[in-house]
Structure 1
Amino acid sequence: MKVLVVDDHPLVWEGIKSVLKDEDDMEAVGWANSGRQAEQMLSKIQPDVALVDLRLPGEYGINIIKKLRPLAPKCRFIILTTFADHQDIKQAMECRVNGYILKEALPQEMITALRLVHGGRPYYDPLVMELMVQKQNKQERLLSDLTERETEVLKAITDGLSNKEIADKLFVSENTVKKHVSNILSKLGLKDRTKAAVFAASCGMANHDPHAVLLS
């Protein structure tokens, strides 16, 4: 298995080389410290797996992976990072990244991840999956606090409707909608309806990009 490392820290490269040197079926074949350098090396080396840092200077690892994929169709990609942010993990999943490993992982965990991913199975660090479960449980608890009508209003907000449009849709007064919106923001602990739309979208309630929702 040929492994390419895309990371701007030489110590990370040296550490991975050290971890893989005793593995008969693995070889660290190259190191790139930027997305551009990775593009040049990937075409030439055609690695089996590429470990890509999530945050390089001025670059985002997931965007780098999107650019690299066409250059090596058979290569599988693993995010290697110190970050376990929910949005980063979500974007990695949406991009169908093959793996997500934290830099604090033990050497044997990295070796296991590489073998699983090379064999066609995804690998996400257990701490990452725990974070996702905690986030999902928290979202479910918050949503369960909303009344049925408040849930309808939240869905309408996420669909981009103004208070007047929501009032017309639900056959209530605009003042009643405003009260529902206020209750929703209070229960979810959010400051405005745009953040509420983004939250709802993360729970699968949006039909489009919630960032396009305008304040009304």
Structure 2
Amino acid sequence: MINIAITDDHPLLLEGLKNILSKEEDFHVIGCFPDAKSTLAFLSETPPQVLLLDINLPDANSLDLVADMKRKYPDLRILIISVHNEYAVIKSMLDQGANGYVQKNSSVDDIVTGIKTILLGDTYVCSQTKFILESKQQDTLLRVPKLTRREKEILQEAAQGFTTIQIAERLFISPHTVESHRKNLIEKFSTKNLSSVIKLALEYGLIRQ
């Protein structure tokens, strides 16, 4: 039997999810909560295997809440149930430790499959969420400039705070060459300065922090 808790500040949705999941032979809904406070109190006493969590709660920042739950209850599987379909929101929740993300207009099968999938240790996202993530990734790939080995080296050095002269000394090249590469990088990334280039390069995974 899979013990499940549900947290959502909309009573009708909370009751609806409870009724739907209770019909599943292997599922047992052991708690329903309207806010973070009551959820955390319950978890401290009777932690379920899976928590279905809405991210619009009246008394908590959802990112901090998920991080806190995963820190205190590392075995807890969290499936986000949300109306938000923005890439930044989805990625932030998954990065904070949520095990899955399902849109609220998804099918019952999506939720059931999501619960079973995350219990196996895998990440689950519904088809709508998957499309959003893949579209963003594809868009990023199209926008990532191709860099030469030397450009990557100079960018990595600049990201670590080294000046033009210091970079030249460390790479055994002239300051003029470093400056030329810096200008080329700014042009390739279509930014106004190297700081913006570094920020984008980190986001694209071209260099490391």
Task: Give the alignment's TM-score, normalised by structure 2.
Answer: 0.77
CA contact (8 A) 2:66 2:93 kept: no
CA contact (8 A) 1:39 1:71 kept: no
The alpha carbon displacement at 1:167 in A equals 4.2
Residue 173 of structure 1, aligned match among 172, 175, 185: 175
Query: In the alignment, what sits opposite 2:197?
Result: 196
The alpha carbon displacement at 1:143 in A equals 3.1
SS at structure 2 position matched to 1:56: coil
CA contact (8 A) 2:7 2:39 kept: yes
The alpha carbon displacement at 1:106 in A equals 1.6
CA contact (8 A) 1:43 1:72 kept: no
* Count of residue pairs the alignment pairs up: 207
Alignment of 1:118-133 (within 5 A): 118-133=119-134
SS at structure 1 position matched to 2:105: coil
**Alpha carbons of structure 1 residues 119 and 9: separation in structure 2 relative to 1, 3 Å:** same
The alpha carbon displacement at 1:73 in A equals 4.7
CA contact (8 A) 1:190 1:196 kept: yes
CA contact (8 A) 1:8 1:56 kept: yes
Query: In the alignment, what sits opposite 2:28?
Result: 27
**Alpha carbons of structure 1 residues 148 and 119: separation in structure 2 relative to 1, 3 Å:** closer
Alignment of 1:1-216 (within 5 A): 1-57=2-58, 59-69=60-70, 71-170=72-171, 171-173=173-175, 177-178=178-179, 180-208=181-209
CA contact (8 A) 2:66 2:97 kept: no
CA contact (8 A) 1:43 1:71 kept: no
Tell me, in whole angstroms, the C-alpha distance in 2 between the residues paired with 1:63 and 1:8: 17
The alpha carbon displacement at 1:78 in A equals 1.6
Tell me, in whole angstroms, the C-alpha distance in 2 between the residues paired with 1:107 and 1:162: 56
Q: Deviations over 1:63-104 (max 9, x none)?
A: 212222355454211222233444444444444432122223
Tell me, in whole angstroms, the C-alpha distance in 2 between the residues paired with 1:61 and 1:25: 28
CA contact (8 A) 1:159 1:206 kept: no
Tell me, in whole angstroms, the C-alpha distance in 2 between the residues paired with 1:189 and 1:52: 40
SS at structure 1 position matched to 2:32: strand
SS at structure 2 position matched to 1:29: strand
Tell me, in whole angstroms, the C-alpha distance in 1 between the residues paired with 2:45 and 2:94: 27
Tell me, in whole angstroms, the C-alpha distance in 1 between the residues paired with 2:190 and 2:86: 19
Stretch moving more, 157-166 or 48-57: 157-166
The alpha carbon displacement at 1:46 in A equals 1.8
**Alpha carbons of structure 1 residues 197 and 44: separation in structure 2 relative to 1, 3 Å:** same
Identity score, percent: 25
The alpha carbon displacement at 1:190 in A equals 4.0
Task: Give the alignment's TM-score, normalised by structure 1.
Answer: 0.75
Unaligned runs of 5+ in 2: none
Q: Deviations over 1:91-128 (max 9, x none)?
A: 44444432122223222111111122234432122333
